[in-house]
Structure formats: C-alpha cells, structure tokens
Structure 1
Amino acid sequence: MEIKGKLIKALDQQSGQGKNGTWVKQEFIIETQEQYPRKVCISLWGDKVKELESIQVGDLLTASINIESREYNGRWYTDIRAWRIVKENVSNDSSVPPDSPPFNESDFPDINESDEDFPF
C-alpha cells in the first residue's frame, strides 16, 4: 500500500536494546494532498531510518507502508510502518509539452504553384 503526502515533521530517533540486539525507530508526520488533508504518523525501523535523511520538511514523498493492528490488555493499537520512502520529483507543469522547433517556410508546399493537378 502507498500513501503520498508532504513531510510535516520528522520526530526524534528512538533506540533501545532488545532480545535480538539494538533497534532504531523514527516516526514522521505527513499531510496528504487530498481535498480534506489528513495528518498521518508513520514509523521507520532499522536501516530504513536513513532514507528519511534525504527528505526535508515540506518535500512531497511517497511511502510504501504496511498497516498492522494488535491487541494489548484489551485495547487495540495500530501501527503504520514504512518499508520504503521516495522523495517525489516536483515539476512546474508536466502537462505542458516541451517547446517545439519553429517552422521553416520550406516545411510547407508553395501554394502559388500552378500545377492544377488536383486529386479531385
């Protein structure tokens, strides 16, 4: 699943020691670019934390995510984890075609020719 939005804030990195070794986690907040924008908190784990270093606040990004919920003491908690984030390339207006070369007069037939060899 993918979500697109603008990076609003990168929270501080968290780290700790677990039974499998040291872990690192960083959360960041994006705002979706919909009619009614929503703010979403997404977490990065392990070496994926480095992917956030190349993205600045205000940049548009696409995050490939997994959503998972779990129960703890009768309450449900939902975690949104990114497994890849990519900075979006911003172009001014991609719907405008690039400038074409100007036409030369030699590109058009001479309308003053008097061949009178019409195809009809």
Structure 2
Amino acid sequence: MELQGKVIAVLPPREGTSARGPWKSQEYVIETHDQFPKKMVFNIFGADRIDQFAIKAGEEISVSFDIDAHEYNGRWFNNIRAWNIQRVDATAAMASAPVAAAAPVTPQPTPEAQPANPFPPTQPGENSADDLPF
C-alpha cells in the first residue's frame, strides 16, 4: 500500500537486543492533504533503513508500507511497517491535493414563496416560533 503526505512527528527511536542481536525501530506520523486529513503512524525497522531514509519533520513523502496484526495477551495490535520512502516535491503535493469544495449556496426563498406554517398557532395571537415549553 502507499500513502502520501507530510511528516508531522518523528518519535524517539527504540532499541533493544534480541536473540538475533541488537535492533532499532523508529515511528513517524504522516498527515494526508485530503479534504478531511488523515493521520497514520508507521515504523521503520532496522538502523540501516532509519539512516538510509533519514526522515525529518515537515518533509513531504510517499510511504510504501505493509500492514500486519499480531495478538498479545488476548488483544490485537496493528503494525504498519514502511519498506520504501520517496521524497515528494511539496508544491507538487499541494497542487495534486483535492481542493475542498465550497459549501453549496442555497438561495433563500422570498416571503411570498415560503410555504404555509404546518403548525399553526393554537391560540389567536400566539407566536408559533416562541411556543417551546422551556
């Protein structure tokens, strides 16, 4: 899968040692440029890949990633692991982003065109707009 957007956070790297030796992982947050922007956290595993991609906050990137899930103590967790990062020109990314459509303008009816009140006042002289009990 692939997602394009702006890196809005670079989280601190995590390191450890397993039976296979030392490991390093780092997570990043990317935000899309859609009408309703979405955020996604992805990780890069391996010190060599972290250094190779050298992702910085504010960069426009295209992330190629795989999604996998694992179970731990009866709960399931998603893992979004990036396998390729491409730098994107920021001006091109903003130009290709969909522009939010303006809200449609609804013409206001003229007083002559307004429909009759479906709830007429119950007592003469009563204003139907102020008949709420509270």
Letter in 2 for 1:58: G
1:83-108 superposed Cα distances (whole Å, 9 cap, x missing partner) = 1111102346989xxxxxxxxxxxxx
What residue is the counterpart of 1:19 in the other structure?
19
What residue is the counterpart of 2:52 in the other structure?
51
TM-score, length-normalised on structure 1? 0.70
Task: Tell me how far apart the structure 2 counterparts of residues 81 and 33 of structure 1 sit (CA, whole Å).
Answer: 21
Would you say how many aligned residue pairs link Structure 1 and Structure 2?
94
Task: Tell me how far apart the structure 1 counterparts of residues 90 and 76 of structure 2 sit (CA, whole Å).
Answer: 38
Asked if the contact 1:10/1:57 (under 8 Å) is kept, the reply is yes
Task: Tell me how far apart the structure 1 counterparts of residues 72 and 56 of structure 2 sit (CA, whole Å).
Answer: 35
Gaps of 5+ in 1: 96-120
- Structure with a larger share of its residues in helix: 2
Superposition map of 1:68-83 within 5 A:
68-83=68-83
Gaps of 5+ in 2: 97-134
Asked if the contact 1:61/1:85 (under 8 Å) is kept, the reply is yes
* Aligned sequence identity (%): 37
- Structure with a larger share of its residues in strand: 1
1:19–1:59 distance in 2 versus 1, CA, 3 Å: same
- Structure 1 residue 71: deviation in Å? 1.3
RMSD value, Cα: 2.0
- Structure 1 residue 72: deviation in Å? 1.4
Letter in 2 for 1:41: V
Asked if the contact 1:6/1:31 (under 8 Å) is kept, the reply is yes
What residue is the counterpart of 2:67 in the other structure?
67
1:5–1:17 distance in 2 versus 1, CA, 3 Å: same
- Structure 1 residue 9: deviation in Å? 0.9
Superposition map of 1:1-120 within 5 A:
1-46=1-46, 47-53=48-54, 55-91=55-91
What residue is the counterpart of 1:99 in the other structure?
none
Task: Tell me how far apart the structure 1 counterparts of residues 9 and 61 of structure 2 sit (CA, whole Å).
Answer: 13
TM-score, length-normalised on structure 2? 0.64
Task: Tell me how far apart the structure 1 counterparts of residues 90 and 73 of structure 2 sit (CA, whole Å).
Answer: 45
1:28–1:94 distance in 2 versus 1, CA, 3 Å: closer
Task: Tell me how far apart the structure 1 counterparts of residues 12 and 79 of structure 2 sit (CA, whole Å).
Answer: 17
